[in-house]
């Protein structure tokens, strides 16, 4: 990765002309991606934006990304990026312009709002560096809308989560309250401005149409994907050092039920001394997870508190025997879709999915893992034990997952779909 800092007009001209790149191929479509979260930030939104950007590049598009500098989830902005209005770099064939964001931990409603607004303003600092574009794809709607209007180009609005519904489910705001009604109106106004809406999950479509009045003809589901060149099939660990490793990798987010996994680890601690649990990542629940590990006396649980590269993530997942997705129980089926499921499948390891709704249905339909009821830590422990005692079952489930992503969920496939959607929007 090569970086540069804007020092004036000459730097902008070199950026626009492409002289920082080793090659200068001719592209048929220039797509601007506006996303607050982008790797090395953690989380599904960052992964989603990166996979689509790289998928577009692999399908012959020229891609410029405007994103906040690395900050999520702990607000730790690296030296060399702090308090700079813009800093750009070349990454996997795309131009990435990082813009200023407040160095705040992403925790609590007020701090999250401050982070969103700081990026909404600072994203416009990159305007002189973007140049002409053909289409805008935005997971950060406000700056994406501004870019679309200034460039007079079609706008695709991404939908990673049903944000307002999630806020209600988490108990942060009451459904039907004045704050919620105002937020829903604002949400509708933004969605009306998009030429296309690209939810990650088919489970979001009905809500977008019925509640937010989005014309169904403008909704185009673009699922998550995985970079198969990075996330390769992992080698079997069977018998290696006599340890059976269960891994969770990602953000320590309120969307997940880590306590249930830890209680399952307690059950297995007393039954199976060779089962090891590894939790890797950062996030607002990190402290509570570490405290709970100490409280339960879990010497079979290891918490890795650091951000790692995509290659290191792939290596960690590939070195596991079982990968877990412990979704929190919101009292109703989960409509969203975790992008880490594709990464889990890509390394060819069985999944234990704790939850109800679209993710658990997906694991069942692709026959890539076992599904347990949320909150049932005894059943969770039994599922892990079943996979440990049945290596052929584990191998079959892992193989099924790998075959699925190879045919349906590569970043080339999702990039091709998004390119077609944007080309139609441009012609209209």
Instruction: Name 325's bridge partners.
Output: 353
Residue 255 pLDDT: 83
* pLDDT for 9 beyond 60: no
Return the higher-pLDDT residue of 123 and 78.
Answer: 123
Residue 400 pLDDT: 97
What SS3 class is residue 9? helix
Band the pLDDT of 21: cuts 50, 70, 90. very low
The distance in angstroms from the start CA to the end CA of the chain is 36
Tokens 């109703």 label which residue? 332
Return the higher-pLDDT residue of 23 and 406.
Answer: 406
Contacts of 318 by beta carbon, 8 Å cutoff, 6+ apart: 231, 232, 233, 234, 235, 347, 348, 349
Tell me, what DSSP letter sits at residue 64? Answer: E
Q: Is 283 left (phi over 0), alpha (psi -120 to 50) or beta?
A: left
CATH of range 240-408; options 3.40.50.2000, 3.30.565.10, 3.30.365.10, 3.40.50.360: 3.40.50.2000
Instruction: Name 226's bridge partners.
Output: 410
Residue 355 pLDDT: 86
* pLDDT for 109 beyond 80: no
What is the helix, strand, coil percentage profile of the chain, to 5?
Answer: 45, 20, 35
- On the question of a common fold for 2-225+411-427 and 240-408, the answer reads yes
Calculate the CA 342 to chain-centre distance: 11
Band the pLDDT of 241: cuts 50, 70, 90. low
Q: Give the tens place of pLDDT for each residue, 41-63.
A: 877 788 889 999 999 999 999 99
With CA atoms as reference, report the closest residue to 383 among 397, 396, 369: 369
Tell me what the pLDDT averaged over the chain comes to. 85
Share of the chain above pLDDT 70, in %: 88
CATH topology of domain 2-225+411-427: Rossmann fold (3.40.50)
Residue 372 pLDDT: 94
| Domain positions in the chain | 2-225+411-427, 240-408
* pLDDT for 172 beyond 80: no
CA 388 → CA 72, 142, 360, distances in Å? 35, 48, 21
Query: To 10 degrees, what angle do helices 109-122 and 141-151 make?
Result: 20
Residue 15 pLDDT: 41
The two three-digit tokens of residue 222, written as one number? 């673009």
Q: Give the tens place of pLDDT for each residue, 330-361.
A: 778 878 888 889 999 999 999 999 988 889 99
């Amino acid at each position: 990765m090569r970086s540069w800092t804007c020092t004036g007009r000459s730097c902008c001209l070199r950026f626009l002309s492409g002289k920082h790149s080793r090659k200068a191929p001719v592209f048929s479509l220039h797509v601007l991606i506006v996303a607050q979260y982008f790797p090395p930030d953690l989380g599904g939104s960052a992964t989603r934006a990166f996979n689509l950007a790289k998928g577009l590049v692999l399908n012959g598009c020229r891609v410029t990304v405007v994103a906040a500098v690395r900050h999520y989830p702990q607000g730790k902005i690296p030296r060399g990026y702090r308090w700079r209005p813009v800093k750009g770099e070349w990454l996997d064939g795309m131009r990435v312009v990082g813009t200023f964001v407040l160095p705040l931990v992403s925790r609590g409603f007020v701090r999250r709002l401050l982070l969103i607004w700081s990026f909404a303003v600072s994203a416009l600092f990159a305007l002189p560096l973007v140049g002409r574009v053909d289409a805008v794809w935005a997971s950060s709607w406000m700056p994406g809308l501004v870019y679309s209007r200034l460039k007079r180009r079609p706008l695709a609005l991404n939908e990673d989560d049903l944000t307002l519904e999630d806020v209600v489910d988490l108990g942060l705001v009451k459904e039907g309250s004045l704050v919620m009604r105002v937020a829903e109106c604002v949400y509708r106004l933004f969605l009306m401005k998009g030429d296309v809406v690209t939810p990650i999950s088919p489970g979001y479509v009905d809500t977008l149409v019925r509640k937010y009045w989005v014309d169904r003809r403008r909704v185009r589901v673009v699922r998550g994907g995985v970079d198969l060149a990075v996330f390769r099939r992992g080698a079997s660990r069977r018998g290696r050092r006599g340890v059976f490793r269960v891994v969770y990798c990602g953000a320590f987010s309120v969307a997940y039920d880590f306590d249930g996994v830890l209680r399952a680890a307690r059950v297995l601690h007393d039954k199976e001394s060779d089962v090891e649990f590894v939790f890797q990542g950062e996030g607002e629940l990190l402290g509570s997870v570490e405290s709970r590990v100490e409280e339960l006396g879990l010497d079979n649980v290891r918490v890795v508190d650091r951000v790692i590269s995509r290659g290191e993530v792939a290596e960690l997942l590939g070195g596991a025997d079982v990968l877990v997705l412990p979704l929190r129980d919101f009292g109703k089926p989960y409509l969203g879709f975790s992008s880490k499921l594709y990464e889990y499948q890509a390394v060819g390891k069985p999944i234990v999915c704790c939850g109800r709704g679209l993710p658990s249905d997906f694991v069942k339909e692709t026959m890539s893992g076992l599904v347990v009821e949320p909150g049932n830590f005894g059943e969770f422990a039994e599922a892990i034990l079943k996979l440990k005692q049945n290596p052929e079952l584990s191998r079959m489930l892992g193989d099924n997952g790998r075959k699925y992503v190879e045919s349906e969920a590569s970043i080339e496939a999702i990039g091709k779909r998004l390119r077609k959607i944007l080309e139609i929007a441009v012609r209209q």
